[in-house]
Amino acid sequence: VKTFLKIYEQQNELKGIKDLLSKEIKIRKEAQDNLEIKIAERTKELVLKNEELEMKNHELQQFSWVVSHDLNEPIRKIQIFIKIIKELYLADDAKAVDYVDRTIKSAERMQTLITDLLAYSRLSSQVKPEMTDLNVVLQEVLSDFDYLIERKNATVKTSELPTIDSIPSQLRQVFQNLIGNALKFSGNSEHPLIEITSELISNKAFNSPVSPDGKFCRIIVKDNGIGFDEIYLDRIFIIFQSLNDRQSYEGTGIGLAIAKKIIEKHNGLITAKSQIGKGASFIIVLPLKYE
């Protein structure tokens, strides 16, 4: 009887535990169900928000395109007429000529700003990549700069660049910005030197080892100009940001933002290395195949 009683007690105890466990399981399951419902709700919310964001983004691009496009026309007129006024009516008035010259300069600055903004907002439109011989792209850019290169007494050394699957007009913009900067920020150097080198590398990383059959290339645009402090590295790739005063170095601060946007669209990387007074190197990593 004693043993029976014990077994009975034990059974009861077990039943208690079992009940407790099923209760616990039920609670957990409910919690999990709730959680899943919540996750589903949140995901739906996120998807909606994302769509909304994409639409806003598109609108914004449209807006900046229209604004910069429409601003171009009046500013061109201002430039033309003010030049006419200067030449026809102000020839003997030095003070008036000075004011008009400053107006012309401001209008020119505005024009570059608008052109750059236009280029920036155009980046989001879809274009098809094609096999692009970067040597050709680079030569085109260099020939656009040949006057400035000569005036600055600069030497440009180029090495063999690869042919990659990319959007040529966009990579032209990247080279234009980087080489334009290298020339602009050459400082008082008597012999500005710009070197463009390229090598194939095995993976998408700035410090990837060189590899003759690598699927990426690393292109470096190096100058011996004024350089900059690397603590500001992030800043220079942000639109409208400049580390130098606009009096000494004209510009809009859009060039590197455009370059970064383009390189990222090509699924690549861009960074820079520099020290004040010791030149700057801009390093680009690009996949040979666009995807």
Ligand X SMILES: Nc1ncnc2c1ncn2[C@@H]1O[C@H](COP(=O)(O)OP(=O)(O)O)[C@@H](O)[C@H]1O
Cα 96 from chain centroid (whole Å): 42
Q: Which is nearer to Mg ion, 181 or 186 (CB)?
A: 181
Q: Which of 130, 280, 274, 289 is nearest to 217 (CA)?
A: 289
Q: Tell the smallest beta-carbon distance from residue 146 to ligand X (Å).
A: 19
Question: Exactly one of 168, 214, 227, 268 binds ligand X (CB under 6 A); which one?
Answer: 227
- How far apart, in Å, are the Cα atoms of 83 and each of 19, 79, 104, 114? 94, 6, 8, 20
Residue type, 287: P
- Spell out, one character per residue from 163 to 202, where the chain touches Mg ion: x when CB under 5 A holds, - when not: ------------------x---------------------
Selected range binding Mg ion among 63-71, 146-154, 247-255, 279-287, rule: CB under 5 A:
247-255
Q: Which of 236, 225, 242 is nearest to 276 (CA)?
A: 225
Q: Which is nearer to ligand X, 204 or 273 (CB)?
A: 273
Residues 230-269 vs ligand X: string with x where CB under 6 A? ------x-----xxx------xxxxxxx------------
**287 contact choice in Mg ion, ligand X, none (CB below 5 to 8 Å, kind-dependent):** none
Bridging pattern class, strands 269-274 and 193-201: unpaired
Please classify residue 281 by burial: count the beta carbons closer than 10 Å to its beta carbon, then call 0-12 exposed, 13-18 middle and 19+ buried.
middle
226 contacts ligand X (rule: CB under 6 A): yes
List the structure tokens of 162. Answer: 């690869």
Buried b (16+ CB within 10 A) or exposed e, 76-103: eebbeebeeebeeebeeeeeeeeebeeb
Residue 216 found at the interface with ligand X (CB under 6 A): no
State the binding string over 166-205 for ligand X (x if CB under 6 A, else -): -----------x---xx--x--------------------
What are 221's strand-pairing partners? 196, 282
Where in 27-56 is the site for Mg ion (CB under 5 A)?
none
Specify the residue, 164 or 174, whose C-beta has the smaller distance to ligand X: 174
Chain residues binding ligand X by CB under 6 A are 177, 181-182, 185, 223, 225-228, 236, 242-244, 251-257, 280
